[in-house]
Amino acid sequence: MAMAEGHKSNAGRYVIVYICILAIAFLQFVIAYSNITAPQMFARMLFLAAVEAALALLFFMHLSDNHGLLWFVVVFTVFVLLAMQYGWTDSFRELLGAPWSSYSTS
Amino acid sequence: MSHADAMGGPAGVMEKPAFSVPAKKMAMWLFIIADTATFAGCLVAYGFLRNATPDWPRPFHSITNVALMTFILVTSSLTMLFAIDAAKAGEKAKALQWTLITAGAGALFALLHIREWLGLIGEGMTLLKNPWGTGLFGAAFFSITGLHLLHVTGGVIALVAVGIRYQGGRYNADDLEITGLYWHFVDLVWMFVVPLVYLLNLSH
């Protein structure tokens, strides 16, 4: 491939990351059929999804090349995600009044 | 050479871009961060409902369709990278070709998604009710996957528009890269939608 001056193709690296992401996605499908509890399944799948997302962010979206932007994105996103956890305890109270819910405290 | 000089302006007038990222790319990153909060809000709200509703339905019998959709979307991220690589190498025709392949993969993903929706609607699932359990499932499923499908559709249109304008010389490789950032984000969101919305609701 004729490259423009100063440009180096990263196709090899992209293909390796692509294969890794596909392999992790395959693992998620395997976990879906494994004989474990729903919370265990949730935790494992969420962990693998986070790894997939990290690979995509670092290598597909090139955050590995810009540490300042990487920290900006990570700190902001983690803060938002942590702040959302505040609602967990309240979610059960909200469900009591939700339409069509058969949730009951008795 | 100072940054201001490099930008062609007088020294001291041009402010250094945040994180050394050009303004257009930074705008896309800010959009992505904001959209991450939107999707995270939807998925966390879905988690609240899924966790605390005893009769939550598990309507998915097969993973074939969702596996195929995942493969197509992840592969489209790779073809997008090839497009950007070709654009940076100055190979316009190849860049447009890979961009259109990416858009085609996105369109195929959207068609498979709509086919799946039609199948579920055919089984009696609507926004408000379904034959398997709580009516909240339909609302949660269609909201989350619908929001994602909307992003995919927007992405396909953007890819075609930017690709054609890049070929015509109006846009450059950086513009294609910025569109690529959006496309990778759409792929990234799907990585969380699949396990939470599909795989945790498989009927065994």
Chosen from A10, A14, A27, A100 to mutate, greatest number of chain B CBs within 10 A = A100
Are both A24 and A70 inside the same structural domain? no
Task: Determine whether the interchain pair B63/A29 forms a contact, defined as Cβ–Cβ distance below 8 Å.
Answer: yes
ipTM of the complex: 0.88
3-state secondary structure of B133: coil
The pTM score is: 0.87
**In angstroms, rounded to a whole number, what is the distance separating the alpha carbons of residues A2 and B5?**
31
pLDDT at B12: 56
Chain-chain contact of A57 with B188 (C-beta, under 8 angstroms):
yes
Supply the pLDDT for residue A38: 84
Tell me the chain A residues in contact with residue B49 when contact means C-beta distances shorter than 8 Å.
Answer: 91, 95, 98
Q: Is A83 on the interface with B (CB under 8 A)?
A: no
pLDDT in tens, chain A (106 residues): 444 556 778 899 999 999 999 999 999 999 999 999 888 999 999 999 999 999 999 999 999 999 999 999 889 888 888 888 776 666 666 566 666 666 555 5
Question: What residues contact B82, with CB distance under 8 A and at least 6 apart?
Answer: A11, A14, B98
Question: Taking CB atoms and an 8 Å limit, are A100 and B21 in contact across chains?
Answer: no
Per DSSP, the residues of B137-155 read HHHHHHHHHHHHHHHHHHH
Name the residue with tokens 């929706």: B117
Are the C-beta atoms of A54 and A23 separated by less than 8 Å?
Answer: no
Which helix or strand (DSSP H or E) is residue B102 part of? Answer: helix B92-122
Judge whether A16 is closer than 8 Å to chain B, CB to CB: no
Using the beta-carbon criterion (under 8 Å), do A32 and B195 form an inter-chain contact? Answer: yes
pLDDT at position B1 is 47
**Together in a domain, A18 and A56:** yes
Q: Are A69 and B187 inside 8 Å of each other by CB?
A: no
A45 and A75 assigned to the same domain? no
CB B74 within 8 A of CB B187: yes
State both tokens at B6: 């490099």
List CB contacts (< 8 A) between A41 and chain B: 199-200
**pLDDT (0 to 100) of residue A1:** 42
Which pLDDT score, from 0 to 100, does residue B185 have?
97
Which tokens in the block code for residue B104? 């085609």
Query: Do A38 and A50 share a domain, yes or no?
Result: yes
Which residues in chain A have Cβ-Cβ distances shorter than 8 Å to B191?
A: 21, 25, 49, 52-53, 56
**Cβ neighbour number for residue B179 with a 10 Å cutoff:** 24
> What is the pLDDT of chain A when averaged over all its residues?
84
* Count of alpha carbons within 13 angstroms of residue B57, beta-carbon side: 21
Chain centroid, CA B129 distance in Å? 28
Instruction: Say what the pLDDT of residue A2 is.
Output: 43
Are A2 and B75 in contact (CB < 8 Å)? no
Class of B22-201 per CATH?
Answer: mainly alpha
- Closest Cα of chain A to B167: distance in Å? 17
Mean pLDDT by 10 residues, chain B (204 residues): 51 73 92 93 87 84 93 98 96 96 98 95 92 90 97 98 95 96 97 95 82
Look at B77 and A60 and tell me if their CB atoms are within 8 Å.
yes
B61 C-beta neighbours (distance < 10 Å), count: 9
Q: Name the domain count of chain A.
A: 2
User: Are residues A92 and A49 both part of a single domain?
Assistant: no
Are residues A13 and A47 both part of a single domain? Answer: yes
Measured between its terminal Cα atoms, the distance across chain A in Å is 69
Could you tell me if A73 and A47 lie in one domain? Answer: no
Report yes or no on A4 lying in a domain.
Answer: no
pLDDT score recorded for residue A103: 59
**Domain encompassing residue A72:** 66-98
Residue A39 lies in a domain: yes
Whether A83 and A51 map to the same domain: the answer is no
pLDDT digits (tens, 9 = 90+) for A28-56: 999 999 999 888 999 999 999 999 999 99
Contacts of A7 in chain B (CB under 8 A): 88-90
